[in-house]
Amino acid sequence: MKRLMTQLLNLPGVIVENSLETESTIILSVRATNKTAVCPRCGQKSHRLHHNKRHLVKDLPISNRAVILSVNRRQFKCEFCRKPFSEILDFVEHKKSFTKRLALNITEQVIQSDISNVAKNNTLTPEQVESMVKVVAESVINVDVRELRRLGIDEISLVKGQGKFIVVLVDLETHKLLGLVSEKKTVIYRKLSSKMG
Distance (Å, whole) CA 167 – CA 103: 16
Comparing CA positions, the residue from 76, 30, 72 lying closest to residue 51 is 76
Does a structural domain hold residue 166?
no
pLDDT at 179 over 50: yes
* HEC letters along 127-158: HHHHHHHHHHHHCCCCCCCCCCCCEEEEEEEE
Please, which pLDDT band fits residue 182 given cuts at 50, 70 and 90? low
Does a structural domain hold residue 1?
yes
Distance (Å, whole) CA 17 – CA 29: 5
Average pLDDT over residues 50-75: 92
Q: ∠ CA(191), CA(132), CA(30), 5° rounding?
A: 120
Distance (Å, whole) CA 141 – CA 149: 17
Does a structural domain hold residue 112?
no
Alpha helix (H) residue ranges in the chain: 2-9, 100-112, 115-121, 126-138, 185-196
Does a structural domain hold residue 38?
yes
Distance (Å, whole) CA 147 – CA 129: 31
Comparing CA positions, the residue from 88, 107, 8 lying closest to residue 45 is 88
Provide CB contacts within 8 A for 146, sequence distance 6+.
none
pTM recorded for the entire structure: 0.74
Comparing CA positions, the residue from 165, 93, 99, 95 lying closest to residue 130 is 165
End-to-end CA separation in angstroms for the chain? 51
pLDDT at 183 over 80: no
Distance (Å, whole) CA 151 – CA 195: 13
Domain count along the chain: 1
pLDDT in tens, 131-144: 898 888 776 566 66
pLDDT in tens, 84-137: 998 989 899 888 999 999 999 998 888 778 888 999 999 999 999 988 988 887
Does a structural domain hold residue 31?
yes
Radius of gyration (C-alpha) of the chain in whole angstroms: 19
pLDDT at 163 over 70: no
Does a structural domain hold residue 105?
no
Domain around 26 = 1-97
Does a structural domain hold residue 123?
no
Q: What is the pLDDT of residue 22?
A: 92
Distance (Å, whole) CA 120 – CA 185: 30
